[in-house]
Amino acid sequence: MRFLLRLASLVALAVAVIAGTVDSIQSVAASSVVITPMGAAWQDLNASSLDALQSSISYYIHPRFYTLAFQWLMMQPAFAVFLVLSLLLWMAGYKKQPAAGRFAA
């Protein structure tokens, strides 16, 4: 299980680096700061899955949760969302070292 969490963390980190690189290239080309929101990035990649998730959240969980939390998350920069996701997955898959040391009996 830890392997899968660490692998998912690596994938999320790679996506965050790619999103940050795309934003920096667009910023240099536009001569101003360009930050792509998560919702716009998801809309560009697969609009039907975003619409399906939005309708599922508003139907199965609660419409107010969609308006408060999900829309707030979709307004955040894509690279920051994936960086936080990568950190959370890495923390979930982290194995704490024993306090007595590696070769303790």
With respect to residue 105, please indicate whether it lies within any of the assigned structural domains: no
Per-residue confidence (pLDDT) for residue 104, from 0 to 100:
65
pLDDT band at residue 33 under the 50/70/90 scheme: very high
Model confidence at 13, in pLDDT bands (50, 70, 90)?
very high
Higher pLDDT, 37 or 68: 37
Q: Which amino acid is at 88?
A: L
Q: Are residues 63 and 85 in the same domain?
A: no
Same domain, 82 and 72: no
Whether 29 is covered by a domain: the verdict is yes
Asked whether residue 55 is domain-assigned, the answer is yes
Six token digits for residue 57: 């959240």
How many of the other CB atoms lie within 10 Å of CB of 97?
8
Residues 31, 41: one domain? no
Asked if 59 contacts 47 with a C-beta cutoff of 8 angstroms, the reply is no
pTM, two decimals, is 0.80
Residue 85 is which amino acid? L
Q: What is the number of structural domains in the chain?
A: 2
Nearest to 70 by CA among 96, 42, 100, 102: 42
Question: 47, 83 in Cβ contact below 8 A?
Answer: no
In a domain, 99, yes or no: no
Domain that holds residue 62: 37-76
Q: What is the pLDDT of residues 42-95, one digit of tens each?
A: 999 898 998 898 888 888 888 888 788 888 999 999 999 999 999 999 999 988
- Sorting pLDDT into bands at 50, 70 and 90, what band is 105? low
Q: Are residues 16 and 46 in the same domain?
A: no
Residue 98 in domain: no
